Amino acid sequence: MSEGVDFKDLQRRMDGAISAFKNDLASLRTGRASSNLLDPVMVQAYGAPMPINQVATVTVPESRMLAVSIWDKQLVGAVDRAIRESNLGLNPIVDGTNLRIPLPELNEDRRRDLAKIAHQYTEQAKVAVRHVRRDGMEVAKKAEKDGAISQDDSKVQSERVQKLTDETIKQIDALLADKEAEIMQV
């Protein structure tokens, strides 16, 4: 089986999907403020979407408050708009080139909303993993069609790709279950 699927590359790409998923989950706040909360927020700056940490500094002055210090005063409106439109339920208070963001108390409805967002992130991660699986299956089929590997080797490689996919999906589901329990904990 010298030809065919590169399992190290597939594993690396699936691990990348898990890593991105973990970052998305870290941005969902559960109890106290975290500077990671604003990581998924993209700001329209200089004609392109940019992560908020490339146009401002995010700090946590208190347990229920975020402070965003924007480096370019022309971007204050764009950063404010991006935070408001981010589905995080945050309403910044503009103070010159700084934004103060009080974090609302988590009530039952807000916890359910956060759980829904976590489920959306989960589906995005699973879709990414399925894309990697599809690529692996296509490589195995193409190698078989080109005569580089036998039909049996192609079947074995396809089964390994599916097994790797199943394990990765199981990890994603476990991460979701942990985060959901954390979100719903009062």
Query: 97: pLDDT confidence band, cut at 50, 70 and 90?
Result: confident
pLDDT at position 31: 62
Cα(34)–Cα(62) distance, rounded to whole angstroms?
A: 10
Q: What would the mean pLDDT of 118-142 be, rounded to a whole number?
A: 92
pLDDT at position 29: 65
Q: Would you say residue 7 has pLDDT above 50?
A: yes
Query: 15: pLDDT confidence band, cut at 50, 70 and 90?
Result: very high
Instruction: Dump pLDDT digits (tens) for 124-133.
Output: 999 999 999 9
Which residues does 43 contact at the CB level (< 8 Å), separation at least 6?
49, 50, 51, 52, 55, 75, 78, 79, 82
pLDDT at position 32: 65
Q: What is the pTM of this model?
A: 0.68
